[in-house]
């Protein structure tokens, strides 16, 4: 499958022209992962965006990183599939990863897009940059809303502790 076709499926590249998609495709690198492989760990530095070409990725958070009394291990908060992206926060603030990404299907293929190359494209082609950042904001807002709903559901249905 052509890289531009994969990018076209990703929400963060919505309404980019064919030429803009080709520019983004030119800075992508494809990497393969197998079941259980860690793409990146929670609380590590990140400067890459990922788009799933084929396969599945679990996004995980580890409650023990916040509360050492928890020992139930990482919790999956989302499973992503072809055409979906992750690692977007690294494009915005270059801070630590807020979750881990783990491969859950053999022969998962990802497009890896380095932040510095993408930012250079955005600076060089402001229309591309505007569309990408608009889509990125919408994508992050949707993910925040979904995470908020998940948290509300867990809080609502969590067993009550005896008084």
Per the model's pLDDT, the better-predicted residue between 162 and 57 turns out to be: 57
- Residue 10 belongs to domain spanning: 3-156
State pLDDT tens for residues 113-131. 999 999 999 999 999 999 9
State pLDDT tens for residues 8-21. 999 899 999 999 99
pLDDT reported for residue 83: 92
Residue 45 lies in a domain: yes
Q: What is the mean pLDDT of residues 96-100?
A: 91
Tell me the pLDDT of the chain averaged across its residues. Answer: 90
pLDDT reported for residue 72: 74
pLDDT reported for residue 68: 65
Residue 148 lies in a domain: yes
Secondary structure in 3-state letters for the chain: CCHHHHHHHCHHHCCCCHHHHHHHHCCCEEEEECCCCEEECCCCECCEEEEEEECCEEEEECHHHCCCCCCCCCEEEEEECCCCEECCHHHHHCCECCCEEEECCCCEEEEEEEHHHHHHHHHHCHHHHHHHHHHHHHHHHHHHHHHHHHHHHHHHHCCCCCC
Please state the pTM of the whole predicted model. Answer: 0.86
Q: How confident is the model at residue 73 (pLDDT cuts 50, 70, 90)?
A: confident
Residue 161 lies in a domain: no
Q: What is the CATH number of the domain that holds 120?
A: 2.60.120.10
pLDDT at 69 over 70: no
Residue 162 lies in a domain: no
Q: Number of structural domains, the chain?
A: 1
């Amino acid at each position: 499958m052509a890289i531009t076709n994969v990018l076209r499926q990703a929400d963060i590249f919505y309404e980019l022209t064919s030429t803009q998609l080709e520019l983004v495709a030119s800075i992508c690198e494809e990497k393969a992962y197998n079941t259980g492989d860690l793409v990146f760990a929670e609380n590590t530095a990140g400067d890459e965006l990922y788009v799933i070409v084929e396969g599945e990725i679990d996004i995980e958070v580890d409650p023990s990183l916040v509360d050492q009394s928890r020992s139930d291990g990482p919790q999956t908060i989302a499973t992503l599939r072809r055409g979906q992206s992750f690692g977007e926060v690294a494009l915005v603030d270059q801070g630590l990863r807020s979750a881990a990404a783990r491969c859950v299907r053999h022969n998962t293929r990802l497009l890896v897009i380095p932040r510095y190359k993408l930012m250079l494209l955005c600076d060089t082609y402001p229309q591309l940059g505007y569309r990408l950042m608009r889509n990125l904001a919408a994508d992050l807002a949707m993910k925040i809303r979904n995470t908020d709903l998940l948290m509300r559901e867990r809080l609502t249905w969590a067993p009550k502790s005896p008084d």
